[in-house]
Amino acid sequence: MDLEGIKKLNDWVQESDNIVFFGGAGVSTESGIPDFRSVDGLYNQKWAWPPEEILSRSFFERNPEEYYRFHREKLVIEGVEPNRAHRKLAELEAAGKLRAVVTQNIDGLHQAAGSKNVLELHGSILRAYCSRCRKPYPADLINHGTGVPRCGCGGVIRPDIVLYEEPLDQDIMEEAVHCISRAEVLIVGGTSLNVYPAAGLIRYYRGHRLALVNLGATPYDSYADLVIHEKIGEVFSRIAV
């Protein structure tokens, strides 16, 4: 355990009331949701198409049956609970120390833990809408239904997530840039920092307390002021509020 690194991170957290967290799939692995790129992650499991292709806009339009088979089998995971990382981040926000959680995750676990200001860059599996008339639908309909769910207007109901080939929501992106560029401490965790434009958000940080908490190495390790290669739940369990 990198106790020295964790102590430094804890000191930074104690000294700041302007912390921003930016995370990805690795934040939820300790809740039992596989990440995308680790050896046993989603992208290393067998499927007839590469998951990046199934999770693309053109595939969804071409083959919604197959998309929904994948969605229900791989993206919808029952009975998951927030872990120590989600909970500590919510506590830090409630204590007035953390300004925002910027996440690439679509699982809603930050909100389930009590976080309020969550910027979901890739949307949420807990919301759905008609791809034609944009009428909102309960996510249960797509996550637990069968076949391709359709709206009264005839359009296909889709999850409110950002698929490959789709742009990110501009307002959420701008708010994320706003928070990160003004943050005193930026903690980046549980993300391989491989997927753009999300990964590029790190470049907007202007301070000198950028901490990277990730099991594996990332392309930004040499860019950070502190790197901790440990499980994020373990690390956050040692951070005081």
Contacts with ligand OAD, residue ranges (CB under 6 A) = 24-26, 29-30, 35-38, 41, 55, 104, 122, 162, 164, 190-192, 194-195, 214-216, 231-233
The CA-atom distances, in angstroms, between 117 and each of 26, 141, 163, 168, 190 are 20, 26, 23, 18, 19
Q: What is the 3-state secondary structure (H, E, C) of 116-168?
A: CCEEECCEEEEEEEECCCCCEEEHHHHHCCCCCCECCCCCEEEEEECCECCCC
146 CA to centre of own chain: 26
Task: State the minimum distance, in angstroms, from the CB of residue 156 to ligand OAD.
Answer: 19
- Toward ligand OAD, which CB reaches closer, 41 or 155? 41
- Toward ligand OAD, which CB reaches closer, 183 or 232? 232
Task: State the minimum distance, in angstroms, from the CB of residue 35 to ligand OAD.
Answer: 3
Query: For the chain, how are helix, strand and coil distributed in percent, rounded to 5?
Result: 40, 20, 40
The CA-atom distances, in angstroms, between 164 and each of 52, 58, 62 are 7, 9, 14
- Toward ligand OAD, which CB reaches closer, 30 or 93? 30
d(CA 52, CA 164): 7
Whether 122 is a known active-site residue: answer: yes
Task: State the minimum distance, in angstroms, from the CB of residue 129 to ligand OAD.
Answer: 17
Catalytic position from the list 71, 122, 178, 229: 122
Task: State the minimum distance, in angstroms, from the CB of residue 121 to ligand OAD.
Answer: 7
- Toward ligand OAD, which CB reaches closer, 4 or 221? 221
User: Catalytic residue numbers?
Assistant: 122
